[in-house]
Structure 1
């Protein structure tokens, strides 16, 4: 049975339930299976041996998610050796269309719509909405989580500087 964390975050001021465990810095990164824009499967193991920033958004078609993804795309162009992934439950086709329209090409968008595999493994699936809550994870080359932020209010921006600094530090380790 999947763990439920009631009131862990709010959506438009209302408490929602997150499915899955709360991931903490120091944890081994859980595996997951999501879909790339070409419908191929992607797992954590596909980026093994690299530092990863995983930016989690409810939907690319909303203002904050759009800005968050554009910001991490911009940062990705300056972070040599860091792979930046954006995961949402948007369909792969919508993600591909959005990336084309937004000129986003320095990060990879991945869809968790099929199984909520990432959402339940990382404790970011919102039970009531079947969306992912806003969060950022940094995973080092050895698949250890070195940074976590679950944004307390889903409609707010994450901290952008802290995960970038954590990724740079993980590169040096």
Structure 2
């Protein structure tokens, strides 16, 4: 049974339970299998040898998640050789439609709807809602976690500057 962290964050002011471990800087990044917009599997190994900035959002169809994904898409131009993934439990079809409408072309959106593989490995599944908690992880070329932010209130923005700086340090 996966670890449960009761009250680890809040969602609209209410404490919620996160399923999975709390990752820390220095941990080996767990592998995962999520789905690309064309339903092909995507794993951590697909981007091996690159710096990964992994942006986790509850749903692209909400304001903060939309802004978070657009911000990292804009910052991608300043982050050469960084693979930027946005993970949510939105269906791959919805992600593809959203990316087309939003003009997102540098961030890869991937769906964890099928198995919650990413969410459980990275400790971001909100048990009560079956959504992923807002978080940002930076993983280096050797699969070590070098930056972690579990946003304490799911409706708040992450610290964009700190995440981007952590990715830039690895280039």
**Interval containing the TM-score (normalised by the shorter chain):** over 0.9
Show structure 1 runs of 5+ residues with no match.
none
What CA distance in whole angstroms lies between the structure 2 residues aligned with 1:86 and 1:109? 5
Aligned residue runs from structure 1 range 103-118, under 5 A: 103-118=103-118
Match of 1:86? Answer: 86
Show structure 2 runs of 5+ residues with no match.
none
1:106-157 CA distances to partner (integer Å, 9 max, x unpaired)? 1100000000000000000000000000000000000000000000000000
Match of 1:152? Answer: 152
Question: Structure 1-normalised TM-score?
Answer: 0.98
What CA distance in whole angstroms lies between the structure 1 residues aligned with 2:6 and 2:163? 26
Match of 1:100? Answer: 100
The count of corresponding residues between Structure 1 and Structure 2 is: 171
Of 89-98 and 74-83, deviating more is 74-83
Task: Name the Cα RMSD after superposition.
Answer: 0.4
Question: Structure 2-normalised TM-score?
Answer: 0.99
Match of 1:46? Answer: 46
Q: Give, in angstroms, the shift of residue 170 of structure 1.
A: 1.3
